[in-house]
Amino acid sequence: MNQVDKAPPWHISEWLNTPSPVDLDAQRGKVVVACAFQMLCPGCVSHAIPQLKALHEFFTPMGALVVGLHTVFEHHQAMTPTALREFVHEYRIDCPVGVDAPSIDGGTLPQTMAAYSMRGTPTLLLIDKSGQLRHQIFGHAPDLQLGAEIMRLLSERPAENVSRGSPFPTDPRV
């Protein structure tokens, strides 16, 4: 998804690995990389979590904010915040991790997942320095393409957030 719309706010019930909540609006001037995942998602465990950790290690010193968003849309009773704390510790995830707030209407999709119309996990969100959602990628994003796109966003001035060609396939449903 190649976007130039303001990124919707996150609806987070609890934050891990950070002394205070991460407010998306307060991140203007930074590139934000968010990885939506679930603990019991095989693709998340084998691909997205290692990529999230590498992105955090490599791009945080360059001024990017890299976060995990635990978006539980199935197996709700097994994926509690207590279990997530153990998972984060066991997998040595050091970046901030937000627990997506449960649906307010009794549905299965948590609020942030619904706000972004995510299709599932893993999903990557790339938000530019102006707070615009530039890319939403469902599934695994190739490391080299993702790294190049983050570097491009880091090198832009906030006023440069015009729509450009994307190295990622476009989702025709978005």
pTM of the full structure: 0.86
Q: For residue 164, what pLDDT is reported?
A: 52
State the architecture of 10-16+28-156 in CATH terms.
3-Layer(aba) Sandwich (3.40)
Q: Tell whether the model's pLDDT for residue 174 goes beyond 80.
A: no
How is the chain split into domains, by residue range? 10-16+28-156
- What are 108-120's pLDDT values in tens digits? 889 999 999 999 9
Bridge-partner residues for 29, per DSSP?
A: none
Give the pLDDT band (50/70/90) at residue 4. Answer: low
* pLDDT > 90: percent of the chain: 75
Label residue 173 exposed, middle or buried (CB < 10 Å: 0-12, 13-18, 19+).
Answer: exposed
Q: Tell whether the model's pLDDT for residue 91 goes beyond 70.
A: yes
Q: For residue 66, what pLDDT is reported?
A: 98
Q: Do the bridges between strand 65-70 and strand 97-100 make them parallel or antiparallel, or are there none, so unpaired?
A: parallel
Q: Measured between alpha carbons, how far is residue 75 from residues 24, 51, 109, 113 in Å?
A: 27, 24, 12, 15
- Tell me the mean pLDDT in the region 90-96: 97
What mean pLDDT is reported for the chain? 88
Answer with the residue of higher pLDDT: 103 or 30.
30
